[in-house]
């Protein structure tokens, strides 16, 4: 983590009784570590409300307590969202790591989470050499230069989403990623996620489109982001009322 006096490390480990112990070099880093993990996020209402849900009930029972990890900065979530648009997750993560290794501070082993300053000084064409398309590179540079995304943690989730959606190149899926992993809110679903499109295709018996994923997530209300994560986790673990084989779904 970047701190006032330079880079600092944080560490966490879980004991046999389930308790988690944290260690950091300063209180600032400790607070950021708590946010990233996220140990204090209470999603018990979500579990209670949807324990009997036809789609999520079994997944909630099997994966009880699971919550998505967050990243150290909102900028990192922005990078992850842009890299992940309409490509395989493995390829997206490779591009993300190349960008971080090329632009972020390091202690020689670990890298700090990116900030807007890491990208604002680049021309979009320069970022393309790390694997970004021209459109994605232009979006990343423009947002880094014109929007202080870190301040979005200080506004309401609805306000943050409204501001992000005004940016060309950031759609509902990107807002969902930034919400879950950068802002730490569960309000916004991963609308248009390729995994959810496959799930909807199986459920509907036809080729699904992004609006179908929005309809799938709508019943989960302010928990659509967390529901997205559980649906995807349940899909890949065979816990949903559909069958997943070799990247294809069969009802």
Single residue among 164, 183, 202 that ends a domain in this structure: 183
| Exposed e or buried b per residue across 51-81, where buried means at least 16 C-beta atoms within 10 angstroms of its C-beta | eeeebbbbbbeebeeebbebbbbbbbbbbbb
Single residue among 142, 162, 183 that ends a domain in this structure: 183
Q: Residue 106 belongs to a domain with what CATH number? A: 1.10.340.30
The answer on 178 and 188 residing in a single domain is no
The answer on 177 and 78 residing in a single domain is yes
The answer on 168 and 209 residing in a single domain is no
End-to-end alpha carbon distance in the chain: 45
Domain count, the chain: 3
* Contact criterion met (CB below 8 Å) for 21 and 12: yes
- pLDDT recorded at residue 243: 65
The answer on 91 and 148 residing in a single domain is yes
- The percent of residues in the chain predicted with pLDDT above 90, rounded, is 86
The answer on 221 and 249 residing in a single domain is yes
The answer on 149 and 85 residing in a single domain is yes
- pLDDT recorded at residue 4: 80
Question: What is the rounded distance in angstroms from the CA atom of residue 198 to the CA atom of residue 223?
Answer: 21
> Sign of torsion, CA 134 138 141 147?
negative
Q: With 80 as the cut, is the pLDDT of residue 196 above it?
A: yes
The answer on 250 and 230 residing in a single domain is yes
| Tokens describing residue 146 | 């014109």
Report the chain's mean pLDDT, rounded to a whole number. 93
217 part of a folded domain: yes
The predicted-structure confidence for 199-213, as pLDDT tens digits, reads as follows: 999 999 999 999 999
Range of the domain at 118: 74-183
For the CA atoms of 214, 192, 94, 25, what is the dihedral angle to 10 degrees? -20
The answer on 96 and 59 residing in a single domain is no
* Contact criterion met (CB below 8 Å) for 185 and 225: yes
164 part of a folded domain: yes
Which pLDDT band holds residue 251 (cuts at 50, 70, 90)?
Answer: very low
149 part of a folded domain: yes
The predicted model gives 119-148 an average pLDDT of: 98
Q: What backbone phi and psi angles, to 5 degrees, belong to 14?
A: -105, 135
More confident site: 205 or 146:
146
45 part of a folded domain: no
The answer on 189 and 163 residing in a single domain is no
- pLDDT recorded at residue 244: 52
Question: What is the rounded distance in angstroms from the CA atom of residue 240 to the CA atom of residue 193?
Answer: 17
- pLDDT recorded at residue 44: 94
The answer on 109 and 233 residing in a single domain is no
| Tokens describing residue 75 | 């900028």
The answer on 190 and 153 residing in a single domain is no
Q: CB neighbours of 163 closer than 8 A, spacing ≥ 6?
A: 147, 152, 155
| Exposed e or buried b per residue across 208-233, where buried means at least 16 C-beta atoms within 10 angstroms of its C-beta | bebebbbebbeebeebbbbbbbbbbb
The predicted model gives 180-201 an average pLDDT of: 96
Q: Which of 231, 244, 241, 247 is nearest to 46 (CA)?
A: 231
15 part of a folded domain: yes
The answer on 85 and 145 residing in a single domain is yes
Which range is least confidently modeled, 12-16, 110-114, 240-244? Answer: 240-244
Single residue among 183, 200, 231 that ends a domain in this structure: 183
Q: CB neighbours of 198 closer than 8 A, spacing ≥ 6?
A: 208, 235, 247, 248, 249
């Amino acid at each position: 983590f970047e701190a006032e006096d330079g880079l600092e490390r944080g560490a966490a480990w879980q004991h046999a009784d389930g308790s988690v112990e944290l260690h950091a070099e300063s209180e600032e880093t400790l607070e950021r570590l708590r946010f990233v993990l996220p140990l204090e996020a209470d999603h018990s209402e979500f579990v209670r409300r949807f324990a009997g849900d036809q789609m999520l009930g079994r997944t909630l029972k099997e994966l009880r307590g699971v919550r998505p990890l967050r990243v150290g900065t909102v900028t990192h979530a922005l990078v992850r969202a842009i890299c992940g648009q309409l490509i395989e997750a493995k390829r997206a993560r490779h591009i993300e790591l190349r960008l971080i290794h090329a632009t972020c501070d390091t202690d020689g082993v670990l890298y700090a989470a990116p900030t807007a300053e890491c990208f604002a000084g680049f021309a979009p064409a320069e970022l393309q050499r790390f694997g970004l398309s021209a459109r994605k590179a232009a979006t990343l540079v423009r947002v880094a230069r014109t929007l202080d995304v870190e301040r979005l943690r200080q506004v309401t989730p609805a306000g943050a989403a409204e501001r992000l959606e005004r940016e060309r190149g950031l759609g509902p899926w990107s807002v969902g990623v930034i919400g879950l992993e950068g802002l730490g809110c569960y309000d916004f679903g991963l609308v248009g996620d390729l995994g959810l499109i496959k799930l909807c295709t199986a459920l509907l018996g036809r080729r699904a489109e992004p609006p179908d994923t929005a309809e799938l997530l709508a019943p989960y209300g302010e928990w659509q982001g967390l529901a997205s994560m559980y649906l995807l986790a349940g899909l890949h673990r065979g816990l949903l009322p559909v069958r997943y084989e070799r990247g294809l779904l069969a009802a």
